[in-house]
């Protein structure tokens, strides 16, 4: 009888973990659901939310007047109709650019009229829109090119009560290739979940990272099963980027990764649900 009870308790616990998703692999919508809408626009974020992404990823840039915006590149050339370095524009100037038409031209099969004229967003605009209804995965890019970027980010997140000293972990994840940036944040807000981006392989490297970060973010091309195992042994989670193909996703699930960055939330969802339902 005792064993039957234990078995029942174990089965119920296992089921609830799958149902509420607490233990499932996190889907991080890379630049929003960027296979279907222009990256880092409201349309891409809306789709990511609708499709059930666990996190929406935002790459940070900063205008010359110190406003944090969501943009991947150093320049506006690829994703707008403008030209020049992001930090040479004021917010007023960058807001005049069309951040959606390039997508319609490049991907006519996914084009939508509504994408034309979409605007670059400030981080505050994104937070004002979504508040705590989504989870944010924010990449600090080029901190040396944008002095004051980290303090401004922390100020914005704190003012919107998304972070606090000793607060809940996981509503916001901050990722960076720059370890100094992560260490700086760790010292100020030890409760923010931090991911060290990059390709690390040695036990020593992982041990060093575990002193200030919660996980590592390697590129898929450098991923191995052994890396996941070693990272887990050091208490680090593994969020791998950027995976859109079903077979690659399946392989990562078999390797027991904790999260995947994807440009295609519905494919990731399908694969993860499929595997969970086996």
Q: State the residues that interact with Ca ion by CB under 5 A.
A: 59, 139
Q: Is 239 a catalytic residue?
A: no
Nearer to ligand G3P, 100 or 217 (CB): 217
Report, in Å, the least distance between residue 31 CB and ligand G3P: 7
Nearer to Ca ion, 139 or 214 (CB): 139
Nearer to Ca ion, 230 or 240 (CB): 240
| 197 contact, one of Ca ion, ligand G3P, none, CB 5-8 Å limit per kind | ligand G3P
Nearer to ligand G3P, 138 or 156 (CB): 138
Cβ density class 186-217: b for 16+ within 10 Å, e for less: beebeebbbbbbbebeeeebbeebbebbbbbb
Q: Distance (Å, rounded) from C-alpha 76 to C-alpha 83?
A: 6
Residue with the shortest CB distance to ligand G3P: 241
Q: Distance (Å, rounded) from C-alpha 247 to C-alpha 17?
A: 24
What residues form DSSP beta bridges with 85?
75
Report, in Å, the least distance between residue 60 CB and ligand G3P: 10
Report, in Å, the least distance between residue 101 CB and ligand G3P: 21
| 162 contact, one of Ca ion, ligand G3P, none, CB 5-8 Å limit per kind | none
Task: Please report, as ranges, the residues that interact with ligand G3P according to CB under 6 A.
Answer: 30, 59, 72, 139, 175, 197, 217, 241-242, 261
Which is catalytic among the residues 30, 40, 186, 239? Answer: 30
Q: Is 186 a catalytic residue?
A: no
Note if the bond before 5 is cis, omega within 30 degrees.
Answer: no
Q: Distance (Å, rounded) from C-alpha 5 to C-alpha 19?
A: 21
Counting DSSP H helices and E strands in the chain, the numbers are: 11, 9
Report, in Å, the least distance between residue 141 CB and Ca ion: 7
Contacts of 6 by beta carbon, 8 Å cutoff, 6+ apart: none
Q: Locate all alpha helices (DSSP H) within the chain, ordered by sequence.
A: 2-20, 42-50, 91-94, 101-106, 123-130, 149-159, 179-188, 203-210, 225-233, 246-254, 265-276
Which is catalytic among the residues 40, 72, 186, 239? Answer: 72
HSE value, Cβ hemisphere, 13 Å, CA-based, for 216: 30
| 217 contact, one of Ca ion, ligand G3P, none, CB 5-8 Å limit per kind | ligand G3P
Nearer to ligand G3P, 43 or 60 (CB): 60
- Catalytic residues, which ones? 30, 72
């Amino acid at each position: 009888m005792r064993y039957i009870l234990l078995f029942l308790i174990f089965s119920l616990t296992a089921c609830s973990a799958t149902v509420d998703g607490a233990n499932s692999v996190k889907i991080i919508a890379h630049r929003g659901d960027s296979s279907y809408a222009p990256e880092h626009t409201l349309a891409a974020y809306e789709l990511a939310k609708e499709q059930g992404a666990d996190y929406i990823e935002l790459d940070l840039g900063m205008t010359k007047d110190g406003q944090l915006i969501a943009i991947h590149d150093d320049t506006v050339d690829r994703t707008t109709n403008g030209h020049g370095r992001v930090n040479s524009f004021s917010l007023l100037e960058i807001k005049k650019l069309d951040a959606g038409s390039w997508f319609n031209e490049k991907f006519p099969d996914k084009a939508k009229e509504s994408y034309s004229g979409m605007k670059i967003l400030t981080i505050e605009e994104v937070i004002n829109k979504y508040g705590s209804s989504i989870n944010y995965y924010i990449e600090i890019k080029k901190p040396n090119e944008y002095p004051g970027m980290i303090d401004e980010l922390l100020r914005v997140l704190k003012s919107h009560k998304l972070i606090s000293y000793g607060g809940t972990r996981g509503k916001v994840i901050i990722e960076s290739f720059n370890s100094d940036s992560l260490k700086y944040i760790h010292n100020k807000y030890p409760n923010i979940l931090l991911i060290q981006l990059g390709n690390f392989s040695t036990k020593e490297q992982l041990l060093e990272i575990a002193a200030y970060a919660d996980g590592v973010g390697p590129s898929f091309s450098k991923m191995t099963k052994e890396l996941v195992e070693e990272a887990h042994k050091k208490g680090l989670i593994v969020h791998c980027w950027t995976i859109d193909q079903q077979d690659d996703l399946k392989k990562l699930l078999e390797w027991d990764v904790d999260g995947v960055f994807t440009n295609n939330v519905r494919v990731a969802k399908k694969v993860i649900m499929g595997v969970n339902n086996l």
